[in-house]
Structure 1
Amino acid sequence: MAEVDDLTLADPERLAPWLDQAGVAPGNALAVEPLVGGASNAMFLVHRGGHTYVLRRPAQVAVDRADEGMRREFRFLSALAGTDVPHPEAVAFCDDNEVLGCAFYLMARVEGFNPMPASLPPAFDDPAGRRAITEAMVDALAALHDVDWRAAGLGDLDRTAGFHDRQVSRWVGQLESYEGRDMPGTDEIGRWLDGHRPTSFVPTIMHGDYHMMNVLVGPDRPARVSAILDWETSTIGDPLLDLAGYCEIWAPMTDPADGWPDRAEIVERYAARRGIEVPPLRYHQVLYNFRMTVLLEGIYQRSLKDPTRPAMDMVGDQALRFLRRATELVTG
């Protein structure tokens, strides 16, 4: 995570006329402040007319096709309107690069806390609270995967034919495009994945990065997810990648002795909520870790070239940890 301290990325003088045109509290005074946000995008709080919004835009040194990614995020958030999936309301989208030099969008601000196991608020810092948070997160993920994405207007995004067939070539190609440091073991992981592809799956909306830092939980009991955040990797794909990824992040950070449900309980509740059988997830775990290796390595390599942010050495270390985990799953 990084804090953007360069307001030129959300210049109020350029932003105000666009907000007027978009009907966002037109004519009112505007205040903009940086917000701690994702590693590959920049976020700002936008205060106007007694309301606070969140502006989300690519970082200065952005991922490839960053503007397309912004459109995609806004489209998924818009498609979720009226569903049971907790998400920030999509407010307005800008594809005029004359405003901020990139595509960006505005969404409603949602109150809540990131359910980090080591720093829970007092209302949830007991075994019952920990279990309730975990179950709420599982239920929100199940609700996402149960959305009828075709009825929600996302049918034209269906590229699920050959989804698993192209995963290795896609991520290897993206890693090579960084022209960065050597990442030993990726060839072996790629061969293993190609030899263990699922023969079929039922496609759903896939968040792509579902874990505690991308979820807000409401401040009071009963536990509820108030919003799922950071939709930059969302797609139509295999929902078991989301489930495996959630478990991969959650399980090492939690201790069942403290009341946290273990990996098996998470999978069991997810299966029950969706009314499905969940197969062994080893392939999905390997793919998730390999995918995260590539995504985080890209963030790290871009940070070395971005004057608005410090070098994200911690993100680079995380990329290597995901790579080691993928290797352990393959060889273990």
Structure 2
Amino acid sequence: MSGLLDVDRLARWLDAQGLEARLPVSAAPLAGGRSNAMFTVDRGNQRWVLRRPAAVAMPNADAGMVREFRILAALEGTGVPHPAVVALCEDPAVLGRTFYLMERVDGVALTPPPQPLATDPGRVEISRSMAESLARLHAVDWRDRGLADLGRPEGFHERQTERWTRQLRSYEGRELPGVDGVTAWLRGHLPESFTPTLIHGDYHMLNVLIAPEPPGRVVAILDWETATIGDPLLDLAGFCEIWSTSLGDGWGTPDQLIEWYSAARGAASGPGAVGGLGLADLTYYQVLYNFRLTVLLEGIYQRSLRDPTRPAMEDVGARARWNLDRARQLVHLHE
């Protein structure tokens, strides 16, 4: 087993939590996240997923595990598809870092879609479900759910460019030409106002699981490490951005995603109803999303260069440059 997970220590911790005590434990690495490590864990009739920081992680990675656990726990009963959390461990004596267990969801990756859904009507239904699931997330009453201190909506946009610029500089890595032009444009195009909601921060087709049979509804939204209280249009713009650059014909178009999302927000109770939106209204958010994703991917790439347990993630480094180029392209088209 990986040095990130000691099965014997995990078994003793599971015993202490009363989770199928004294039965054999099996675990295996789970492909997926790049900034965190995940493992399948089986014991008795229980099937879980364990999530913990990677070998080389951000300094605040342990606090991030607690934050994710708290968000997922708060979503119980909201109608937002998510994996239910089981237990949290903050004792470094167990696995060396904070980790949590969540239930393993019976779902499949969206790309490629399972054969029963690999039709144009099936793809459209998946597209609609993703838009409606995002709308349900944004309708959550985050104050009532005990998440009022999760973020600071006041000054949200004023902080974004500065925060991500600082984080990029903290890597002390390579130069990324064009960054200064993008950040200057963002500072000059801040939205005047917004209604804050709980936002995912990285909502796209690789961060959901869908039911394997028609109608292919979203059964779980994954990877909550960038969730906060902020502007929901940042989620929507990012969703449309990745959708439009990653998927081909047969899927819902970005304009359809916005229409389905807006209709669902109008039907849902909760903060900040929206309507009349179009893709042209999201340029600022698209630029910010791509800049932010550039910084996140560059961090993963730079950490991979320092992590002896992983190969250098050159594909991630190339993607960071691509997202920066995309941000620059959007700025140019807007001028």
TM-score for the superposition, normalised by structure 1 = 0.95
User: In structure 1, what is the equivalent of residue 270 of structure 2?
Assistant: none
Offset of residue 154 of structure 1: 0.5
Q: Is structure 2 residue 267 aligned with structure 1 residue 272?
A: no
1:87 aligns to 2:82 (yes or no) = yes
Could you tell me which runs of 5 or more consecutive residues in structure 2 were left unpaired when the two chains were aligned: 267-273
- Tell me, what secondary structure is at the counterpart of 1:19? helix
Which residue pairs with 2:298 in the alignment?
297
1:17 aligns with 2:12: yes
- Measure, in 2, the Cα distance between the counterparts of 1:287 and 1:60: 29
1:248-259 equivalences in 2 (<5 Å): 248-255=241-248, 258-259=249-250
User: Are residue 329 (structure 1) and residue 330 (structure 2) matched?
Assistant: yes
Q: 1:67 and 1:122 mapped to 2: Cα distance?
A: 39
Helix, strand or coil for the counterpart of 2:123?
A: helix
What displacement does 1:14 show?
1.4
Which deviates more from structure 2 when the two are superposed, residues 121-130 or residues 258-267? Answer: 258-267
The one-character-per-residue Cα deviations of 1:211-237 (angstroms, maximum 9, x if unpaired) are 111000001112211100001111111
Is the counterpart of residue 226 in structure 1 residue 227 in structure 2? no
CA deviations 1:251-298 (Å, max 9, x no partner) are: 12233xx42221111111111111212360000000000000000000
List, as ranges, runs of 4+ consecutive aligned residues in structure 1 with deviation greater than 2 Å.
none
| Counterpart check, 1:110 vs 2:67 | no
Alignment partners' CA distance in 2, 1:125 and 1:313: 31
Give the corresponding residue for 1:3: none
Q: Is contact 2:29-2:40 (8 Å) kept?
A: yes
Query: How many angstroms does 1:87 deviate by?
Result: 0.3
Find the aligned partners of 1:60 and 1:324 in 2 and give their Cα distance. Answer: 30
The 3-state SS of whatever aligns with 1:85 is: coil
Does 2:204 correspond to 1:215? no
Percent of pairs with identical residues: 57
Aligned residues: 323
Aligned residue in 2 for 1:35: 30
Cα offset, 1:204, TM superposition? 0.8
Write out aligned runs for 1:161-310 (5 A): 161-255=154-248, 258-275=249-266, 276-277=274-275, 278=277, 280-310=281-311
Mapped partners of 1:187, 1:22: distance in 2: 50
> What is the rounded CA distance, in whole Å, between the counterparts of 2:163 and 2:328 in structure 1?
19
Residue 117 of structure 2 contacts residue 215 of structure 2 at CA under 8 Å; is this kept in 1?
Answer: no
RMSD: 1.0
CA displacement, residues 128-173 of structure 1 (integer Å, 9 cap, x when unaligned) = 0010000010111101000111111111224111000011110010
Find the residue that maps to 1:32 and give its secondary structure: strand
Alignment partner of 2:43 out of 28, 41, 48: 48
Task: Give the counterpart letter for 1:191 in structure 2.
Answer: A
Q: Give the structure 1 partner of residue 316 of structure 2.
A: 315
